[in-house]
Homo-oligomer: A and B are copies of this chain.
């Protein structure tokens, strides 16, 4: 195997060019799933892939597959990729890096005239972030058969549109049945979104596991009332109840262990008027832990404790379970290939746990799946300040290149 390398500057420049679509004032990106900006980002990616000789496929939930053909027409493809959609105040790397590194690898193989037995597919999964509609990981979930495309089309976005209409509007309502494409394996490259690699001066993280997660939606019900007249003792203030729950959840994570994460990220007050005691509050809980038993115990504690907290203020509470993902353990053989490629290329590495969920979670039950991390500045992500070192960006793509080459020529 020749130790070919990707073109560091070309990859970096592509990331910067993509980052201009939905660019924010402080260096971040707002390219919400199936928005016009997401459409423009997809269009740019598809154009680049076509220029690199790829064939484009789009499935019924908008997942994009850019295929570099192999010489064996019957061999399942080696797949890589991630997502192009961002958080509302997201960065230029989260997801996008994994997609554009796939493109850079195809361009590099073209530069070197390398042909492979298997095709190489670069995948753009639809709506990983769930910043414009639920659930997160929509595209990969549909590919894995966890969501029905017709149901996805009927999902209402936070803008009040339907996902099916949005797919048609931006030109990514394809005909391919999700999951029908034969894939050999899936390897996803991503920034760590945490501080470990940077702190330990490692360039490559071999991701062995993704922590499990539970999403819950909580509705706290009280009574609207006049802020000037309703005595404190007669209030059923839903926001006071939600505040009590938010502090309890934060404290629960802090007192469990260092691995637990509980976040109230989204909260809506009704009627949300200065002089009205809030009668209803809806909020979300994002709960994560690498150990399934602990995750279940935390979810049980939450389900038991919130009604108790509501009761002390005379409030009602309803808890709905959204997404449930068990911790995922990645394929040992792929992890070994990632480790070997990092060693061969001379990059310091370590095994690592992923705190964030990724589309690779949904591929793991279907095929050999693995993930590669690179450091990101100060571990910051889901934030405009998100950043990465161009050398690390190139190193991760080099490791991915060698893993894909090894699998595509086997």
Contact at A278–B261, with CB atoms within 8 Å? no
- 17 example contacts (A-B, Cβ-Cβ < 8 A) are as follows A87-B224, A129-B273, A130-B273, A134-B274, A136-B274, A193-B226, A211-B228, A227-B288, A229-B356, A229-B381, A232-B260, A237-B263, A263-B276, A263-B277, A264-B278, A266-B269, A273-B382
A350–B231 CA distance with the chains assembled, in angstroms:
19
A272 within 8 A of B: yes
Question: CA A240 – CA B384 in complex, angstroms?
Answer: 21
Tally of chain A residues near chain B (CB < 8 A): 72
Taking a contact as CB atoms closer than 8 A, the residue among B215, B233, B274, B381 that contacts A286 in the complex is B274
Q: Copies per complex?
A: 2
Asked whether, in the complex, the Cβ of A264 is within 8 Å of the Cβ of B250, the reply is: no
Q: Enumerate chain B residues within 8 angstroms of A230, measured Cβ to Cβ.
A: 194, 261, 355, 379
Q: Which residues of B sit under 8 angstroms from A232, Cβ to Cβ?
A: 250, 253-254, 260-262
The answer, among B227, B229, B269, B380, for a CB contact under 8 Å with A379, is B229
CB <8 Å contact, B229 and A193: yes
Chain B contacts of A51 at CB under 8 A?
A: none
> Bound complex: CA of A288 vs CA of B224, how far in Å?
18
How near does chain B come to A199, taking the closest CB pair, in angstroms?
11
Q: Are the CB atoms of A229 and B194 closer together than 8 Å?
A: yes
A209-255 contacts to B, CB under 8 A, are 211, 213, 215, 223-234, 237, 239-240, 242-244, 246-247, 250, 253-254
Give chain B nearest CB distance to A317 CB in angstroms: 16
Residues of B within 8 A of A193 (CB): 226, 228-229
Q: Are A130 and B356 in contact (CB under 8 A)?
A: no
